[in-house]
Amino acid sequence: MHWADKIAENLLKISDKHRIATGITPSGHIHIGNLREMLTADVVKRAIEDRGGKAEIVYIADTFDPLRRRYPFLPEEYEKYVGMPLSEIPCPCGEHKSYAEHFLEPFIESLEILGIDVTVKKADEMYKSGEYEEAIKTALKNRDKIASILEEVTGKKCDEKWSPFMPLCENCGRINSTKVLGFDDKGVYYTCECGYEGKASYKGGGKLGWRVDWPARWGILKITCEPMGKDHAAAGGSYDTGKRIAKEIFGIKPPYPIVYEWIHLKGVGVMKSSKGIVVPVREMVDILPPEAVRYIIIRAKPERHIDFDPANLLDLIDELEESAAKGDRSAELSFVKKIKYSEVPFRHLIVVGQIANWDFDRVLEILNRRYKIDSEEKIQDLKRRIKYAKKWLEKFAPDRIKFEIIDSEKLSNIEFDEDELRFLKEFSDKLKEDMKAEELHNLVYTTAKEVGIKPAKAFKSIYKAILGKEYGPRAGYFMESLGSDWVKNRLKKVIT
């Protein structure tokens, strides 16, 4: 049973309707590490629906959180915005209404491409519209009880002036430099490090601190399930305090937790927007088919960390294609919608695309030598995936996968020894019309043995004759794609 089906089974024992929450602060590029939370929620939702239940996903964008520091990717002028809510800071590129929207908009676009249907809730709008008003009043009235819970669970003493509410200073615009002096039905009275004293409204005049905000939103949005990073789920973490605050302060049941591990960027470490260690989701969905992006995460249980290596994405796509052919549940959950997936491997499209110089009519001509492209659905799938193949090659492919067929006029600049020339002559003499990849591959070995050279040297001589270098794509498929007649004519030009 797939891990998402097991979680769905557990949730349906509780209720046949669920509201799954996800939340990411748009303080920087929202990356593939963040995407794990969204996709975990999405596949659980699909698993619930497959079993006849109902589910929806709510994405809470923490747009009212303060900018904690000037991150390395920001210009020096952003130093003055540190401490201000992300929704109130200017957009870095000037094309969005705020700093938060600058990073949020491309992420929302990515979710649509990935087939993740969400209701978007922006924290600043929730606070400004008054959705948090009652929760703020409840938290302020129960300040001592909340402080006691925090101290008991975390083992850390709360400051005497600690408050569950963070007023937004009307003078300097910061939300992390104020102290609550008191409150009444009219608002919250505060003082700020900038020297200003004022009164904050319950509607947009500030926000609850994270450990109180989280359980408050569970109640406001009626959340029943939530994926969360292992830091939140650690002993004494925000879920431990959130459970107590939810029950004892807000009188609600905490959501069913799904704890997930981090995604590590190969050779770098855990992805962090604040440090610029990211592969943005928007970039990924432009380069890879959505099913491949989804499969990166869906194939692994949430409690397992994922090592993400952009250079090895071809192996992962191979695995996806094999899993899809077997009807594997991870592959099934990876596809955004039902499509007629052509049997042409993505890896082969990368080779054929380069041979055809990305001309689609030429691509089809080559593919029809081996595959039966017999429907409009398959053609549309190939058009879709050939575009991704080209983008992946340009962005992520290692040099060993990139190639260019050299002009025959340049063959005179390439040196072949006597053994290589003998092999190429014998090999070309044995080539027949329309030979398949397996035949061509095996012919290299048998001819090399007859001539008395090592197979590795035989393959190198073929690559040199076609590409001008000693390596290239899998030789059998490569020569089949070129056509055995074309290969025969090329080799004759080398040996004459």
Which pLDDT score is estimated for 332? 94
Which pLDDT score is estimated for 127? 98
Give residue 303's Cα distance to chain centre: 17
Distance CA 204, CA 168 (A): 8
Residue 66 token pair: 């303060």
For the residues of 167-190, what is the DSSP string, one character each?
Answer: EPPTTT--SSSEEEEEEETTEEEE
Residue 404 token pair: 């260019």
CB 262 within 8 A of CB 255: no
* List of the chain residues with pLDDT < 70: 266-278
Name residue 386's amino acid.
I
Report the DSSP beta bridge partners of residue 199.
189
Which pLDDT score is estimated for 345? 93
Tell me phi and psi for residue 108, to 5 degrees. -65, -40
CB 42 within 8 A of CB 57: yes
Residue 495 token pair: 């040996």
pLDDT digits (tens, 9 = 90+) for 149-177: 999 999 999 999 999 999 999 999 999 99
Distance CA 34, CA 59 (A): 12
Residue 284 token pair: 């990924």
Q: What angle is formed at CA 283 by the lines to CA 233 and CA 297, rounded to 5 degrees?
A: 40
Q: What angle is formed at CA 38 by the lines to CA 37 and CA 41, rounded to 5 degrees?
A: 85
| Residue 138 burial by Cβ neighbours in a 10 Å radius (0-12, 13-18, 19+) | middle
Distance CA 46, CA 294 (A): 13
CB 256 within 8 A of CB 228: no
Q: Treating both helix axes as pointing N-terminal to C-terminal, what angle do 455-467 and 437-451 enclose, rounded to 10 degrees?
A: 120
Give residue 221's Cα distance to chain centre: 26
CB 284 within 8 A of CB 392: no
Q: How many helices (H) and strands (E) does the chain have?
A: 21, 13
pLDDT digits (tens, 9 = 90+) for 343-392: 899 999 999 999 999 999 999 999 988 888 888 998 999 999 999 999 99
Which pLDDT score is estimated for 30? 87
Residue tagged 């393959």 (tokens): 459
User: Integer distance in angstroms from the first to the last C-alpha of the chain?
Assistant: 62
- Domains in the chain (CATH in brackets) are 1-155+210-337 (3.40.50.620), 339-395 (no CATH), 408-495 (1.10.10.350)
Answer positive or negative: Cα dihedral of 316, 321, 325, 330: positive
Helix residue ranges, H only, 288-345: 290-298, 313-326, 329-334
| Residue 179 burial by Cβ neighbours in a 10 Å radius (0-12, 13-18, 19+) | middle
Give residue 13's Cα distance to chain centre: 31
Distance CA 108, CA 42 (A): 14
Distance CA 168, CA 175 (A): 4
Which pLDDT score is estimated for 268? 53
